[in-house]
Every structure is written in C-alpha cells, then in structure tokens.
Structure 1
Amino acid sequence: MATLDINRVRKAYGNLEVLKEVNISVGDGEFLVLLGPSGCGKSTLLNIIAGLEDITGGEVLIGNRVVNDLPPKDRDIAMVFQSYALYPTMTVRQNIEFGMKIRGIPAEERAKATNAAAEMLQMTGLLDRKPSQLSGGQRQRVAMGRAIVRHPDLFLFDEPLSNLDAKLRVDMRTEIKRLHQRLGTTIVYVTHDQIEAMTLATKVAVMKGGVVQHFGPPQEVYDRPANTYVARFVGSPAMNIIPGRLLASDGVPTVAFDTPQGEAVVRGVPLSAETAHRFAGRDVLVGIRPEHFGLDPCGTVPVGVDVVEPTGPDTLIVFAAGGTEVVARLEPFDAQVGRQERFSVKAEKVVLFDPATETRLD
C-alpha cells in the first residue's frame, strides 16, 4: 500500500497541452476516481502514473518516492485495462499465474496466490476454463485476479467496466468496492460515469480540459460543487442552474428567480454574511438538486408542469424557471401536464454561483 502525490504535473504534445499543472494527493488505502468526459486528460494522467507516458513537468510520487524516471515494472503497480488483455490459449489459472511465472516465483507459491485471488473474486470453479468460455464479467474478474496476485502498492483501473452491459456494470462495481474493502490497497480509477465515481471513490478529481475542476470527497463534490461544470457533470439528473438574484432580506440570505407563474423566493440559503453583503442585489446562478424540491401547497416556488416522467420510486417534473428548463424529483403523486403546483426548496442545500466566473460563492 502507498500514498500517491501528483505535484504540478504537466503533459504536452508539442504545442498541445493536455494536462495543466495537476495537483492531487491521496492517502494510503484511498480510492481515487479520475472523472471526466472523453478528452479531459484523465487516461493520460493514469498513464503518467503508470509510467506509460513521459512527463513534461512536475513530479509523481508513489509512497514518497519520485517515480518520474522509473519504468512501469519498477513502480510496484498493477493495471486493469478496459480490454481484458487475456491470453486466449491459456486457462484462467495460467493467465493469473503468468506474471508470477515470468518473475520466477515458485509453483507452490503461485498456486497459493492464484487460489486465494480466485476465492476472493468468486471464480474458483472457472480456473480450468479458457477466456472464450467466460462472460465479459468473468473475464474482467480474471484481469483483476492477475493484478491482485502482484500485491502492488497501487492498483490502476482504466475504465474497466466500459465493455459490460448495464447489469454487469452494477455487479462488477460492487465487486470492485468489495475488493478495495478487503485489500485496503490504494486505487486510482478512471471513468466517465459519475455513478461509478460516487459509489466507489473516497476522493474524486473531476477533470475538464486537462485541469482538475474539483478534488474532494464524493459527497462534497455532489453537495458543494466548485463550479457550474462540476454541478452539471455530477448527478443524474444534473443540478439545476437557474439565473436569479440575491436579495437583502432582513439579514437572511435570500434568492429569487422568475417562473411563468410568478416570482419564486428561497430564504435562508447558506452564505456567509460577507458574501451576502457583497452580492446583495446582484445576479447569481442558483444551484438546486432535483431531489431538493418538495411538493408543498404553501411553497414559495410557483410552477407549471410541462412534462411528467414517472420512474417508479419517484416522479420527475419538468418546468420552466429563470428562462431555463428545471427538473424536480418528487415522491410519486398524481401529476398532470398543464397543472399549476407549488414547490418548496431545501434552502440549506442551495448552492450559489457567480454568473461571471461560474464558480461557487463562498
């Protein structure tokens, strides 16, 4: 197990800079998820950690050891790729043992490590099969088993679930979570799936254009996103960003925004007195998660129902506010298109952003 420190790391291909002074630090045994869309630089950063890409600037430290100039084999890492990269002519056992065999580990020790990994991943009955006889999820387990037997300081996962169907993704997500809990090894995991990030990570680095937009615990990233990009990227449905204004209302931070049915008002938003005074009377962007609306006959947010989307456990209501489309997630009720309703908002959950910079206030 090891800590991981990424200090002012840069990567450029000629004049194209794909990583711009990335700074990330995770403790021993943490689960770091690099989250972002295609082209944001997350896989490039993973490859730099692995030693598969040269670094343009900065330092990478694994366990307080600078590894910039070390080849992958000397970094004490194990990597699981999106493609399973299994040898088709070998059995599962032979695939898992192969790396140990190359390193000259005795047969008895190889067998013991392979059996332990197979038991951990619930595939003891598959050891004599060939990869062609396995499902996608089983093949990914084999790739994970091959990594486990190395006992590395650092596990690296490069979108390992992308090739699986929806149900298998959920199952394998649980397996990876369970694996981390059992091994306690530091993991770096790349994905574009924010659900994977929220469920797996102890720390999330949301990336865009080679820059870390927000780094922190997943709940912090969800509840208090650093900017509107993070707010919209994390969460499904995404956080609603509604143009509004900050009012000076008896010392209580209050925001208002317009709906076709009238002015909506939310009192008591979490904002420091200094920031509330500085932005009083100015335009702001009001961030509200869909689940923080509530159906309330006395609510201060008048809405007209445009679209109703029942999902079973809840109902999504789409309405207009602040000149934009807003989604509310409510408990199931007899919602009808065209009907006017009143909603309340959990004021303590509201996040405000500066319209000029799109960064969070406070």
Structure 2
Amino acid sequence: MSTLEIDRARKLYGDLEVLKEVSISIATGDFLVLLGPSGCGKSTLLNMIAGLENISGGEIRIAGRVVNDLSPKDRDIAMVFQSYALYPTMTVRQNIEFGMKIRGVPQAERDKAVKTAADLLQMTHLLDRKPSQLSGGQRQRVAMGRAIVRQPKLFLFDEPLSNLDAKLRVDMRTEIKRLHARLGTTIVYVTHDQIEAMTLATRVAVMKDGVVQHLDDPQSVYDRPANVYVAKFVGSPSMNIVPARLDVEDGRPVAVIDVPGGAAARLSGIPLSSQAAAKYAGRSILLGVRPELFSVAGAQAAQAVTVNIDVVEPTGPDTLALFQAGGVEVTARVPPRAVAARTSATLAVDTGKIVLFDADNEQRID
C-alpha cells in the first residue's frame, strides 16, 4: 500500500502561515499534481511530505504510517528535483546505483536494478557517459532512473520539466506518463503548468495562498471548477467569466447577458438545481463558458448570441475569435476562417456545459 494522507497540514514561518490546514488523500497508484502559481505553497507541501521541511500542525501519513517526525531517509520516498542533482564526475551507471551502493546493496543486485531502470527509460546506451555529455532530457531520465531503483512507496517530482525547452517538455511528459502506467507507483508532482497537470494527473489539487481550492480528477476540475480562480487558472485560453443576470421562466433558469449594439442574449438549458435557481432569481451572477463551447450558427439558432467580432487569432487547427459581452472580452474557439474581424457573427452556445458562479464570493453555484 502506497497511500498518502495529508490531514490538516499547516506550515508557519514565524507569524506567516504559508499552508493553512491542507487536507489531501490519494490511493495507491494515484498521480497527484499540486498545481498553482509561484508562492501558493505547493513546493513547501512537497518538501513537508519529503521531510525536508518540518510540519507546524496536522499529520502526514504514508502507507498509513505517521511520518511527521521521521527523517527523509526513513520515509521510503524518492525525489526527482528540477535541477537533476547528478554527480558530474560519475557515469550514468554510477549515478543511478550510488544510493544502493552506500546502503550496501550487493553488486549483482545493483547491476540488475540499473539494467531494469535503463531499459524502462530507454537509456541503456547512455550508461557509460558522464552528465556533461547528456542533453537536458537525458539528464532528467538519469534522475528518474536513480529514483526508480530505490523502489520507494512514493515518488516526489519537484517541477522536473521546467528547465527543458518546449519540445523536450512534451517528450518528457510522455515518458513520465508511460513510466507511471508501467510501474503503477504513487506519485506527487509539483508544477505551475496546467497542461502538465491535465495530461499527467489522476488527481489535481489547485492551490492558492496555501489553500487547496479544488481537488478532483483533471476533467472535473476543467468542466466544473469550484470557483472563479480555478476556472481562470485551468485551461488555455481560460474559461470566460461573463457578468450576467439570472431570470427564471416557467421554473427554468435563463442567463441574460448584455451584448453591445443588440438585444440582450438569453441563454436557457443551463444545468442548475431548482433550489439554486430560486435563490439567485433576479440576481447578478457570473457565467463561466469555455471557448470551445461556442460554434458558428445560423441567425435563427437556439441558444445563440449575435456579436461583433473584434479580433481573430488563427492558430492553425482553429481560430480564436474575440468579442465583447457582459462588459468583458470573451474568447470563442471556432473553425479556421469561420469568422472575420470587424464583422458580426451568430454563435451558438452549448449551454449544458455552462457553469455559474456567485458574483460576490465567486464560488460555483450548483
């Protein structure tokens, strides 16, 4: 069992509280990504799991055992750092087996473990090279190999791809995902890159100011963000947050949005409980709509809005169309050449996937 349980964990530096009763629980084989901007507390939390930072309150349990007071070497973890942390005078083989060597593991067992890790990471041909002879991606493979041979209960990754160029990051994401699938190990991974989070994780914890804002599987975080902060942080382009008013017609919620130069758009078919609809009837709300929920439609299409396109940004496979609605700039993702700048367009909206937020506290309305 390689479960991880973080129970109301706190971290204080003097009077500054950088982690505020964080609680996260993952099962054996989960891939947890701690996602958030610099300063949100994600690396501090990872270091507390590793034992590199003391915990100020709460408990951290690995495989059911409280590890608050255990040293890093007694926690049965392996950590892969952003900086690789390889010994420059050693070969790849020596770097990978070094930890086993100082623990007194016999040579035959070390050789077998190094071969297994090298085969898994497709770097057998690199075993006799020094780190200076490797690319950034190859060095990261060595760091991962050194972690694999320990066969720990928990793998910890601290922004391991941030030093790589864009193409190498994509390649290494694939390698890490393949590694997780083959080994079935439990992983905790820190990043500020929401694409890494979406592609790698089985569970994502979005953090802000030392607080977990949303913990769920990646698709749920994307489709039903807990609040406006999560909605804007996850997704590229991010979710549009449009001021609107909620009306109720025949018991059904209708979002009313001001559109420049035309009649207000009225969108129905929004998923909302009858209790929430009654509570927010006639009130200002925030409407969350992903860019891909728009499509080009005919003038008589249901659940559509006619807008003036300000800017188009071709990306190749699609086009980003920017327009004003509700007093803010809105982005729609449409097919190439489907719309043109400085023209009007009627865009249908998939209202079944719209998310509503409270205009005051910015929390999702269900």
TM over 0.5: same fold?
yes
Aligned to 1:284: 285
Task: Show the 5 A alignment for 1:191-340.
Answer: 191-262=191-262, 263-297=264-298, 298-299=300-301, 300-340=304-344
Task: Show the 5 A alignment for 1:1-362.
Answer: 1-262=1-262, 263-297=264-298, 298-299=300-301, 300-362=304-366
Indicate conservation of the 8 Å contact 2:244/2:284, yes or no. Answer: yes
Runs of 4+ residues deviating >3 angstroms: none
Quote the offset at 1:342 in angstroms: 0.6
Quote the offset at 1:331 in angstroms: 1.4
Quote the offset at 1:312 in angstroms: 0.7
Unaligned runs of 5+ in 2: none
CA distance in 1, matches of 2:323, 2:177: 37
Quote the offset at 1:251 in angstroms: 1.7
CA distance in 1, matches of 2:55, 2:261: 56
Quote the offset at 1:201 in angstroms: 0.4
1:24 alignment partner, SS class: strand
Quote the offset at 1:334 in angstroms: 4.2
What is the identity, as a one-letter code, of the residue corresponding to 2:257?
F
CA distance in 2, matches of 1:223, 1:250: 27
Indicate conservation of the 8 Å contact 1:203/1:218, yes or no. Answer: yes
2:345 alignment partner, SS class: strand
Instruction: Number of aligned residue pairs: give it.
Output: 362
CA distance in 1, matches of 2:349, 2:153: 46
* TM-score with structure 2 setting the length: 0.98
- Residue-by-residue CA offset, 1:113-153 (whole Å, 9 max, x unaligned): 00110000000100000000000000000000000000000
Indicate conservation of the 8 Å contact 1:304/1:340, yes or no. Answer: yes
2:141 alignment partner, SS class: helix
Of 174-183 and 244-253, deviating more is 244-253
CA distance in 2, matches of 1:237, 1:360: 20
CA distance in 1, matches of 2:315, 2:250: 41
Indicate conservation of the 8 Å contact 1:261/1:302, yes or no. Answer: no
What is the RMSD of the two structures over their aligned residues, measured on CA atoms? 0.7
CA distance in 1, matches of 2:329, 2:193: 23
Indicate conservation of the 8 Å contact 2:296/2:338, yes or no. Answer: no
Identical amino acids, percent of aligned pairs: 70
* TM-score with structure 1 setting the length: 0.99
